Structure 1
Amino acid sequence: MYARGAAGQLSLAPTEFAIGSVIEQVANQVEPLAVKKGLEISVDVENGLSPLLADREKITHVLSNLLGNAIDFTEPGGRVWVNASHATAIELGAAVLIEVGDSGIGIAPEHHELVFREFAQVDASASRHHHGTGLGLAIARKFVELHDGRIWVESTPGVGSRFYFTVPVRTAR
């Protein structure tokens, strides 16, 4: 699937759905990993969110990637959360804003953009404790941008990370 996307051939299969149901589904899937690691996981979805007209599978993939990373990069006893709300910033337009946060190891400011590049690893040393191809966040960015949304990170080393993404609110025609 990603090879097609890299060639610019990805398309969307939009359906109308409630983002809260997707968040609950993904949170339930990763909860056993969080519990096994001794993490607290919480979900907060604002009441009255507009249904999304989006590709449910791709939005699920983005959430799964962000939540999986949050769990992976958070030490035992830490916290992971997902919040969804109406975007309030004028520049974001009519959109749903999703935040996936953690009390994990954090990311230095100079690496905030790097984490979204293909095959990028913030810690490329042989002693790194986290495994992955460096494609997850690049794919997440591509999927969010296909929806005309934005994705970004706010993070402080030793404090944790907050990944945000928006999905514009559209209605079926």
Structure 2
Amino acid sequence: MQNYEGSSGKLELFEEILEDVLESNHRVVVFSQWVEMLKILEERIKERGFEYFYLNGSTKSEERIDMVNRFNGGEKQVFLVSLKAGGFGLNLTGADVVILYDLWWNPAVENQAMDRAHRIGQENSVQVFRLITKNTIEERIFELQQKKKDLFDQVVSSAQTFITELSEDELMQLLEE
């Protein structure tokens, strides 16, 4: 769809959210799993005159550290991050808004990305926006993520119930060699 000339409701919503949060003096980290999408978002951000950092998998580690430190120090309003490149090892406490532009199959990857702003040193509450287009594969991915989460919660809950129902002797037997 390289030559698509139409509009995108999702992109328009992104621009609205971005305008609102930046006008309210919030700072934003935007994650996308697609570098091509990040480039489109970058163009929209440039058009509006917002200052931003951009990080993807090809960003050198020294540059990553420098950008993160500068962002956390209050420089620039927006940080565009590739979901895979930014899911690990970043501390983005300079942001108090996270936007997940598109979904990843594995909700743990998204959770790790969101956790970049929920780190030690974060002094503000962090607001997270997940942009999901209705009646698309994205919506189906979100439903699958919710099913995985519900199943995980059931397993963990069952395990906790099982352990709490054991007697002290039964627990000791489980721990013995």
The normalised TM-score by structure 1 is 0.25
Task: Tell me: higher relative CO, structure 1 or 2? Use CA pairs within 8 A at least 6 residues apart.
Answer: 1
The normalised TM-score by structure 2 is 0.25
Q: Looking at CA atoms only, which structure, 1 or 2, has the larger radius of gyration?
A: 2
